[in-house]
Amino acid sequence: MTATLIIDIATAVSLVIGAVFTFVGSYGLLKLDDPMKRLHAPTKAGTLGVGSLLLGSILAALGRGEPSLQEVLIVAFLFVTAPISAHFICKVNLHRRSCDTPPAPVNDTTWSTLDTPPTGAPKPS
């Protein structure tokens, strides 16, 4: 009796935490004004938000007596793929110059996204 009650409470708490961070992530996406700043909001919703919701799902399945670990797989795939999409959005921002020009890198000449041939250069025949 008490064990199921504790699991129910833990499920509810993690669902609320996940919902709060997903909400703050969406709010940040609306509120922030710069393309690069806006990118910070989904990383919040994508990590602790989804992670906490899935923890609630694991706990709920445990409470029903049919434990499942597929949620761990969802978190793993999300953590592996989310940085790549964020990285590509960054690259598009840099490429279109829709953000502040970054400072020059140390030891090297330029950033790889900005390393483009000068526009208007004659085409190699």
Partner 1 sequence: MARFRRALLPHPLLTLLLIVTWCLVSNSIALGSIVLGAILGVLIPILTLPFWPDAPKALRTARMVGYMGVVIWDIVVANIAVAWIVVTRANPAMRSTWVVVPLDLRTPEAITVLAGTITLTPGTVSADLSDEGHALLVHALDAEDPDAVAREIKDRYERRLKEIFE
Binding site for partner 1 (CB under 8 A): 20-21, 24, 27-28, 31-34, 36-37, 39-41, 43-44, 47-48, 51, 68-70, 72-73, 79-80, 82-84, 86-87, 90-91, 93-94, 99-100, 102-115
Tokens representing 4? 């199921």
Nearest Cα neighbor of 26 from 47, 11, 41 is 41
C-alpha distances (whole Å) from 59 to each of 16, 30, 71, 125 are 14, 32, 10, 65
Single-letter code of the amino acid located at 58: I
Q: How far is the CB of 70 from partner 1 (least distance, A)?
A: 5
Query: Which CB sits closer to partner 1, 9 or 95?
Result: 95
Smallest separation, CB 2 to partner 1 (Å): 27
